[in-house]
A and B are shown apart, each in its own frame.
Chain A
Amino acid sequence: DQQVKQNSPSLSVQEGRISILNCDYTNSMFDYFLWYKKYPAEGPTFLISISSIKDKNEDGRFTVFLNKSAKHLSLHIVPSQPGDSAVYFCAARNSGAGSYQLTFGKGTKLSVIP
């Protein structure tokens, strides 16, 4: 049973426009959410995170929104740049047993078109 879902395998956006990547989760025990970015032949790199007590966290061009009632989070990238082209993974931490584990979604491949 997939607890973290990224339903869009891919997304194409024009340079300068907004990219919105979505993530849904099913486990109510998730209390901390992270986004990772991955380039080909490299390891994932941490991008931004949000605690379940917040509904928004911003870092430069990147903003993550959390809607707890809908069990949904989104990553907004504004403006999108060609260097943002990568696979983005959503991850969630369970506040219960084994809270040092993360559960990852399958990823969304973002292509920013110049």
Chain B
Amino acid sequence: DAGITQSPRHKVTETGTPVTLRCHQTENHRYMYWYRQDPGHGLRLIHYSYGVKDTDKGEVSDGYSVSRSKTEDFLLTLESATSSQTSVYFCAISDRGLAKNIQYFGAGTRLSVL
């Protein structure tokens, strides 16, 4: 898993509650990403970071926010969870954003919003 830890691995929550997912890396890679995987949609980028405190939106960013205060940690927050955010969330990291884009993925977090 290239030194990537996602926590929690599973979470069940209720609609309207805030949820934070954590991605922790030990590779000192500059770039970090959050994706969601849903049946029929593949992997879709939510947000990404290109350095500490440097983040930007991806394809499906509505309802999500992120923060990166340290190189090793990238947090994904659902301010008020909705059932449409039930999904499997993957964190990824890469080192050479411009020269190569091999991204290495964590094991995922399965989130259920009831």
Contacts and interface: CB of A to CB of B under 8 A. Distances in A.
A25 interface: no
Nearest to A99: B98
A103 to B, nearest CB: 8
B101 A93 contact: yes
Given A89-B43, A104-B42, A43 B101 contact: no
28 contacts: A6-B42, A32-B100, A32-B101, A34-B101, A42-B108, A43-B4, A43-B92, A43-B105, A43-B106, A43-B108, A44-B90, A44-B105, A46-B103, A89-B43, A91-B43, A99-B97, A100-B48, A100-B94, A100-B101, A101-B45, A101-B48, A101-B58, A102-B45, A102-B103, A104-B35, A104-B42, A104-B44, A106-B40
Nearest to A104: B43
B105 A34 contact: no
Nearest to A9: B40
B31 A100 contact: yes
A43 B31 contact: no
Contacts of A22: none
Nearest to A33: B101
B50 A105 contact: no
Interface of A: 6, 32, 34, 36, 41-46, 49, 89, 91, 93, 98-102, 104-107
B107 interface: yes
B96 to A, nearest CB: 9
Most buried by A among B31, B43, B48, B94: B43
